[in-house]
Structure 1
Amino acid sequence: MSLTQFKQQVTSVDELVEVIGTPGELALRKELKQLDDHMRRFIANSPFVVISTHGADGRCDASPRGDAPGFVHVLDEHSLLIPDRRGNRRVDTFRNLLETRRIGLLFLVPGMGETLRINGRAAIIRDEDHLAPLIAGGQLPHLAIAVEVEECYLQCAKALLRSKLWENHERPDLSSLPCAAEMFADQAQMPEFDAAKLQVLLDGAYQRLY
């Protein structure tokens, strides 16, 4: 598929406003330049955040991060720390941050429809005094992402209400999906790793979260 197949593309802000309209005063005024007490409590109760970054070449990345509620530490109203846990070592997020230092965060709290959005600048840090409070599973993180908040606001619940994300009875039947090991095997196309071998590797990896 090529984007050129779409003949009625929106190409200007004026056209976008003509189609969508303008935001109300509340939507504009809820945006803050620093974390307030409500946002700090939201982060303290959040076990999951999506980190969005982009590289100097414009390539984008969205990476999920999760741990016990409050795993992201708020230092003050302008800064927070996100610990780096054991992963696949692709370091896509880190590569992008080294190039642009731009970051976007989306925090979720299970059962709550609203989400918290934060945009700002970021750095990869190794300061031991800041890493020490981020220990989990008996393991000290090697790195953390320090975020300097530039704008933050609560997003309304419409998307999560439409998706019924937190409603158990609305969850899809996973039997229609192949297991992760099968998908990885088909995508990687490595003869030495069939689905069965990959499942063993995944089972072991999922036992080592820290």
Structure 2
Amino acid sequence: MEKDVSVAHADGSESSIIFKEVLSSEAEIDSIIGRPNSRVLAKVTNRLDDLCREFIGASPFLVVSSSDSQGRMDCSPKGDPAGFVQVLDDWTLAIPERPGNRRADTFRNVLQNPKVGLVFLVPGKGETLRINGTARIVRDSWLREKLAHKGIVPELALVVRVEEVFAHCTKCMVRSELWKPESWKPECMQFTIASAMVAHGKLELSVQEMQAIADERVRTSLY
């Protein structure tokens, strides 16, 4: 094990938390949590079979992880009616780009480092589907038309060449009670897109003013 090293942040500050036992090898990990059994290792495949296609077709939500050439990470949520991600063949899927905040974090990362990770969720389903692969930003008209929603054709699509596919078990969903409405307590939270933008962006707007702008953006950009 190694001692922790302070990390400088973009604003010049450093974390004051020091950890004395930081793992630095796979052997240390294995000695603590053990090795996966043969069934877990064998569940990884490299193609989208009928089971994977069914799950993707039922999923209205996924998270795309990517990183730039310096390893700076990003996770971007994507959502639309179930089936919005199209499986083109056993090794290829396409994710439409819908109107959003125009940050294009995933696209900018893919230009530098095409490796991406995807996690698909289906509401009420305990299992998730994890996919790792290589992405490209595509504008082919035939594909964009295939990904149209309510007659509106996306300008871009993220096409992923699948390299690893595997199901993730239900334990995290069971522990988190994610799909149990009685466990939800969103009314206890002060966090909203408006409060976060005002606080983090140091905007000279009230939270109410920012919320009105955000609500109008949702009203006019969704279809």
TM-score (norm 1): 0.95
Please tell me the residue identity of whatever aligns with 2:73. C
How many Å apart are 1:179 and its aligned residue? 3.5
Which of the numbers 21, 30, 39 marks the counterpart of 1:17?
30
Please tell me the residue identity of whatever aligns with 1:71. F
1:109 matched to which residue of 2?
A: 122
How many Å apart are 1:194 and its aligned residue? 2.4
Distance 2:60 2:110 in 1: 22
SS at match of 1:151: strand
Please tell me the residue identity of whatever aligns with 2:123. P
Structure with the greater relative contact order (CA < 8 A, sep ≥ 6): 1 or 2? 1
5+ residue gaps, structure 2: 1-13
Q: Deviations over 1:24-82 (max 9, x none)?
A: 11101110011111000000000000000010011000000000000000001100000
Which of the numbers 189, 209, 213 marks the counterpart of 1:197?
209
Which deviates more from structure 2 when the two are superposed, residues 178-187 or residues 92-101?
A: 178-187
Which of the numbers 61, 71, 85 marks the counterpart of 2:84?
71
Distance 1:38 1:102 in 2: 24
2:153 matched to which residue of 1?
A: 140
Percent identity between the two aligned chains: 42
SS at match of 2:84: coil
1:149 matched to which residue of 2?
A: 162
Say if 2:16 is the partner of 1:31: no
Say if 2:89 is the partner of 1:89: no
Please tell me the residue identity of whatever aligns with 1:182. S
Q: Assess, with a 3 A threshold, how the Cα gap between structure 1 residues 185 and 3 changes in structure 2: closer, same or farther.
A: closer
1:131 matched to which residue of 2?
A: 144
SS at match of 1:62: strand
Assess if the C-alpha contact under 8 Å between 2:197 and 2:203 holds in 1: no
Say if 2:177 is the partner of 1:164: yes
How many Å apart are 1:190 and its aligned residue? 2.1
Distance 1:123 1:80 in 2: 11
Q: Deviations over 1:5-33 (max 9, x none)?
A: 10011111111110111001110111001
Please tell me the residue identity of whatever aligns with 2:181. N
Q: Assess, with a 3 A threshold, how the Cα gap between structure 1 residues 40 and 195 changes in structure 2: closer, same or farther.
A: same
Q: Deviations over 1:78-114 (max 9, x none)?
A: 0000000011011110010000111100000000000
Say if 2:25 is the partner of 1:45: no
Which of the numbers 40, 57, 73 marks the counterpart of 2:70?
57
5+ residue gaps, structure 1: none
SS at match of 2:22: coil
Please tell me the residue identity of whatever aligns with 1:67. D
1:209 matched to which residue of 2?
A: 222
Aligned residues: 209
Assess if the C-alpha contact under 8 Å between 2:43 and 2:167 holds in 1: yes
RMSD of equivalent CA atoms: 1.4
SS at match of 2:56: helix
Distance 1:75 1:31 in 2: 20
Distance 1:22 1:91 in 2: 38
TM-score (norm 2): 0.90
Q: Assess, with a 3 A threshold, how the Cα gap between structure 1 residues 147 and 178 changes in structure 2: closer, same or farther.
A: closer
